[in-house]
Amino acid sequence: MDNLSDVERIVYDIIKKETESVGGIWQRKLKEMPELRNIKPRTLQHIVKKLIKLKLVKRIKIENNGKTAYFLKAVTEGDEGANKALDLLQQELFEIPCITCRYLSVCGIDKIHEPSKCIILTKYLFSKAMNTKTK
């Protein structure tokens, strides 16, 4: 940790704080943090790569509907088995198309978009049901 610059330490502290409070942070959300708004996205990307290389942060790749996003978590000490199980659970949750849907805020019963009529959600649930049957 001593070999981190001030900016790198700020980025790490934000990731660590978000990991402790909500389990992590989407990499694209880093640039929206008030402390990091004046840092170029490319610079943030290099800082994240360095933190990963130093094993201070891990990045979980989430693919959903052809889009790729990265979720960052500070590496914590503790039971590795529990951390791996939690990572798998989070990855499963992030695969649900609703998480990245642009209509999420207007979706629900008696709203503009309804989950029961959503083609994307229906396809996702059907594919999950088919995968469960074949296992």
- What secondary structure does DSSP assign to 64-88, as a single string? ETTEEEEEEEE--SS-HHHHHHHHH
Residue 19 has pLDDT above 70, yes or no: yes
The pTM of this model reads 0.61
pLDDT for 64 equals: 66
116 in Cβ contact with 105 (< 8 Å):
no
CA dist 75 → 14, 56, 78 (Å): 13, 5, 9
Considering all CA atoms of the chain, what is the largest pairwise distance in Å, rounded to the nearest integer? 54
Percent pLDDT > 70 in the chain is: 83
Measured torsion, CA atoms of residues 24, 62, 81, 44, in degrees rounded to the nearest 10: -40
What pLDDT shows up at residue 134?
55
- Note the pLDDT tens digit of each residue in 45-104: 999 999 999 989 989 887 766 778 888 999 876 545 455 656 666 667 777 888 778 888
